[in-house]
Amino acid sequence: MGWESLLVTRILSDRYRLDGLLGAGGMGAVFRATDLHLEREVAVKVIALSAAMLTPSQEVLRRRFRREARIAASIRHENVISIYDFGIDPTLQMEFMVLELLEGEDLSQILARQAAPDPEWGLEILRQAAQGVAAGHRQGLIHRDLKPGNLFVLYDKERVRVRVLDFGIALPAHPNRTLTHLTRAGSTPHTPAHAAPEQLAGAADLTPACDVFSLGTIAFHLMMGRSMAPDGGQAGREETIQVAQAALRNAPLPYGLSSVIATCLAVQPSDRFPDASVLSDALLAACAPPSIKQTLDLADRKLDLWICPSPIDVAAEVEGTSVAECIARGDQIRDFLYDDSEDRCASQEPALCDAALGYYRAVIHRDPDAALAWIGVAEVEAYRATHVWDWEVAYTGNQRRSILNIALGAIRRALRLSPESARAWVGYGRLLRQWTDTGSWLTQLHPADPWVRQARAAVRYALFLDPACEEAQWEGLSLRDSPCRPPAFPRPAPASQDTLPTDCVPVPLHKVPGQG
């Protein structure tokens, strides 16, 4: 019988009754308890050190326990376990911390029972874990020991809920933080199988990117059904990472997700997402939530009908032109459309849109994997959906949604072909934002709207891929505007030309493959 069992039924500080032991290890134990003042169940963590008899090493442990309480109290987020109280029992002279009582099991127990859980469920676990770790990063704290055992999954019939545990070994990310470094350089606590290469090498100047790597190893296990490095050793770590990244590239994962996880697993910290907040955005951008996925699936089906080839011959203007030239001509017309400085009649724009689409579709007819052509289709259709009301054409809201469906399907096809294209991610974010105002141009952007969250995440991911991307910067401004009809995208006009290039003759629709 250990010392822990002797504390059961005791009341600490005349308030917390210890009802049963939940777990013990080292110099501490966690109890299920009752808060007699508020009449609620809580968890109480007790350190088995009496203030009256402390050796120097035990004093260090006690200081660490107090620091854990301060750290846990400083992070307030729904995906981080909450701390309610901290104190010293006057009779036993033992320090204790009162925590939120969690009902569920940690992720390591779930993975031991089911190596490859449902991908949608696993993705939700990753999203919430990243959001919880991001809350710590915003406080300037690095967790340093993220692993399945420190992600607790709560029992909830309605939805998945995750809590990040054990921020007690966290370290300040900045040297000017007031918390004391109680762990010596070269002896940072971590779990080797989930530790970043710089942790295994004993680096003292860790960054939030080490937590991103650990989340990447968890993501690999959830999506691939196996641990990335079963032995957890440092030897051959880079080779293990390369093998894991190759496996991700060949895995049947949603477009973008393989690239996100592979970025997390980069050997160099500078090649990863800088912190968990950026990773959270990337996960949200790569995989739409269920409330949006149904619409995106419909967009894919609409696109298949739109691009279905017909037996009609390709127009002479296109037939003798290379794929690169067709894309260039389509891009010139698209640039001309987006350039607000050009003087043209609105009545010309439908024909210009059809001409650009004719070139892009001719390319796709020859090479279905031409990502730039799919991006061009999405951008021109996005322009059409924005300006249909100015063309004096009797378009209905349903017809506008059909245009956006084709554009969404096209940009998703581009992202599958080129998941690291900042331009494609910007286009995706723009279309998601446009979808929020299909009912009315006066629709207000609400930050809790899943479409808005998804759009912002896509634009932030584009900025991560290309920080200098002006389109992403402008779209980010549009997503913060309200009402949500932003100014048209500023695109560069064709070089030193005031009008549409003469060689970009609109392709007759009845001569372009796939046009009805």
Q: Which are the catalytic amino acids?
A: 145
CB neighbours of 403 closer than 8 A, spacing ≥ 6? 381, 384, 385, 388
Q: Which amino acid is at 289?
A: P
DSSP E strands, 118-231: 141-142, 151-154, 161-164, 171-172
Interatomic CA distance for residues 172 and 315, integer angstroms? 64
SS3 per residue for 359-412: HHHHHHHHCCCCHHHHHHHHHHHHHHHHHHHHCCCCCCHHHHHHHHHHHHHHHH
Q: Is 316 exposed, middle or buried (0-12, 13-18, 19+ CB in 10 A)?
A: exposed
- Cα separation, 65 vs 95, whole angstroms: 8
SS3 289: coil
Distance from C-alpha of 233 to C-alpha of 240, rounded to nearest angstrom:
10
Q: Residue 42 in 3-state DSSP?
A: strand
C-beta separation of 79 from 65 below 8 A:
no
Q: HSE-up of 210 (CA within 13 Å, CB side)? A: 28
Amino acid at site 290: P
Tell me the torsion sign for CA atoms 187, 189, 192, 198: negative
- The span from the CA of 6 to the CA of 1, in Å, is 8
**Cβ neighbours for 88, distance < 8 A, ≥ 6 positions apart:** 13, 51, 94, 95, 96
Bridge-based pairing of strands 40-47 and 95-99 is: antiparallel
- Which among 390, 386, 318, 388 has a CA at the least distance from the CA of 356? 318
DSSP string, 95-137: EEEEEPPP-EEEHHHHHHH-SS--HHHHHHHHHHHHHHHHHHH
DSSP secondary structure string, 67-98?
HHHHHHHH---TTB--EEEEEE-TTT--EEEE
Radius of gyration of the chain (CA): 28
- In the numeric block, the tokens 């800088």 are attached to 274
d(CA 389, CA 424): 26
- Taking phi over 0 as left and psi of -120 to 50 as alpha, with beta for the rest, 134 belongs to alpha
Rounded CA-CA distance 499/174 in Å is: 54
